[in-house]
Amino acid sequence: MAGGEAGRAPLAHLNDIRSERREQPPDGRSRVFRPRGRVRCCSQLLSFDRFYEAISSACNQSPDISPSKPVRPQLVNELPMVNIPLMPEFLSPPLSRDDVAPFILRAFAEDLPDITSEAIFDPAQRGRARFIAKAEGVFCGLILAETTFALLDATSSFRPVISDGDPVKPRDVIAEVEASVIALLSGERTALNFVQRASGIATATRRYVDAVAGTRAKIYDTRKTVPGLRLLDKFAVRCGGGENHRFGLHDMFLVKNNHIDAAGSITAALERIRAKRMTQQIMVEVRDLGELDEALSQAPDFILLDNMSIETMAEAVRRTGGRIPLEASGGVTLQTIRAIAETGVERISLGSLTHSVTGLDISMRVE
């Protein structure tokens, strides 16, 4: 125990991530920036803070996130007419340092201190590194790499060579960073973990977007994201040319088969939802043409066609006649997506974009 505590002693000088008070040593040398203690939990994530702030302001109360109660907006019965920001607005403008810093600090808490680099190199020693693509794909995550080194070394400089969403091929230089050697080596794996995952999602998304080019269908993600990384996963989908579905359970009603079965029917479920007089849009999932006809009679904002055959989807499109946007979901692959899009559906959602990620091969070479 004593040895472990001693090994973590160098972490003690790092203040809260949101503080800009990064004092420089009197000799002008760079100082490696390391986390002190543990990062606070989800309440620190700005993605959720923004929702809670909007809700709390409307309700004139603080959200209750005590351990004994579910973490959710406390407005369902008290204030039914609250508008919660939807995902397209939420990811515009692009992510900032403040958006991604909590994720990176959490990674630092797992990883640092880097006893190897600190034992070998002097804090004053400077270095330069390049991020280089080793495979063909779509890059995403400049702000993640930049912020990683800015947190470790306030004097670091980061120069992107390409932009998020740009295609890359092997040996392409993505970005250059200059910082203390300790910061470069300590942050290498954290930065690569984030950008490889984000770029893998963006690359997969672009393949599906390209596969439906020329049809009316757009590609959407789902909530099948890594817990705690939804903001980053959905941002990567946007970089790949895709669209975002719900950010969370709170920003759209999605009536799925379990809701329908428990409520007794689509009609019963929608009657209860509409009685709440809330402003979020409504999507209904249907499993067959009978449920489609019932959903059409209730005129929701969207209808999701769950695991239907190509022939059944085409009939659903014919019956709907453009009155309500249709979304296809379930069993979608690169081999089937073109045929699905050609049925005339407006939306196709894929959980595989974020739950089965193959990271894009990217390296960081220190000079």
Q: What is the pLDDT of residue 265?
A: 95
CATH number of the domain to which 345 belongs: 3.20.20.70
Catalytic residue among 118, 176, 293, 306: 306
Is residue 32's pLDDT more than 90? no
Could you say which of 32, 53, 84 is where a domain stops?
84
* Rounded distance between C-alpha atoms, residue 113 and residue 7, angstroms: 7
The CA angle 142-334-300, to the nearest 5 degrees, is 85
Catalytic residue among 285, 291, 327, 346: 285
Q: What is the mean pLDDT of the chain?
A: 81
Q: What is the pLDDT of residue 301?
A: 96
Number of domains within the chain: 2
Buried b (16+ CB within 10 A) or exposed e, 14-37: beebeeeeeeeeeeeebbbbbbee
**Whether residue 214 sits in one domain with residue 78:** no
H/E stretch holding 362 reads strand 362-366
Position 118 in a domain:
no
Place of tokens 């939306």: 347
Catalytic residue among 50, 189, 207, 223: 189
Position 233 in a domain:
yes
Could you say which of 53, 69, 84 is where a domain stops?
84
Q: Specify the higher pLDDT residue, 54 or 282.
A: 282
Could you say which of 53, 84, 115 is where a domain stops?
84
Position 122 in a domain:
no
Is 306 in the active site?
Answer: yes
* pLDDT tens-place string over residues 300-320: 999 999 999 999 999 999 999
* pLDDT tens-place string over residues 83-103: 333 344 445 557 899 999 999
Confidence of residue 77 (pLDDT cuts 50, 70, 90): very low
Position 32 in a domain:
no
Q: What is the pLDDT of residue 304?
A: 97
In terms of residue numbers, what domain contains 72? 45-84
% of residues, the chain, pLDDT over 90: 72
Yes or no: say if 130 and 151 are a contact pair by the CB < 8 Å rule.
no
Is 169 in the active site?
Answer: no
Which two structure tokens, joined as six digits, stand for 138?
């779509």
Helices (H) and strands (E) counted in the chain, each on its own, are 14, 12
Question: Helix, strand or coil for residue 364?
Answer: strand
CA end-to-end span of the chain = 37
* Rounded distance between C-alpha atoms, residue 134 and residue 192, angstroms: 12
Catalytic residue among 36, 224, 287, 338: 224
Q: What is the pLDDT of residue 95?
A: 87
Confidence of residue 367 (pLDDT cuts 50, 70, 90): confident
Q: What is the arithmetic mean of pLDDT over 31-53? A: 39
* Rounded distance between C-alpha atoms, residue 297 and residue 75, angstroms: 29
